[in-house]
Amino acid sequence: MGKRAFNLPNILTYARILAVPMVVLCFFLEGRLQSSEFARWSALAIFIAASVTDYLDG
């Protein structure tokens, strides 16, 4: 079971699962920092990275 849990498709899925709270955190920080461009661009970068991993995962 342990060996199957750490194959490439599962690792990409785990990364996408972790990306969701990071995007939410960026939006939370954007609201707290009075329209921080860095938080918006960070959220976009995380979303694009998650999208690419979804494409690679199939």
**Mean pLDDT on 32-47:** 85
Give the max Cα distance, the chain: 47
Q: What is the pLDDT of residues 8-37, one digit of tens each?
A: 888 999 999 999 999 999 888 877 777 678
Measured between alpha carbons, how far apart are the two ends of the chain, in Å? 22
Provide the number of structural domains found in the chain. Answer: 1
Assess if residue 44 is contained within a domain.
Answer: yes
Assess if residue 51 is contained within a domain.
Answer: yes
Assess if residue 47 is contained within a domain.
Answer: yes
Q: What is the pLDDT of residue 22?
A: 94
Domain of residue 24: give its range. 8-57
Is the pTM value of this prediction over 0.85? Answer: no
Q: What is the pLDDT of residue 2?
A: 62
Q: What is the pLDDT of residue 31?
A: 77
Distance of CA 14 to the CA centre of its chain: 10
Assess if residue 1 is contained within a domain.
Answer: no
Assess if residue 49 is contained within a domain.
Answer: yes
Assess if residue 2 is contained within a domain.
Answer: no
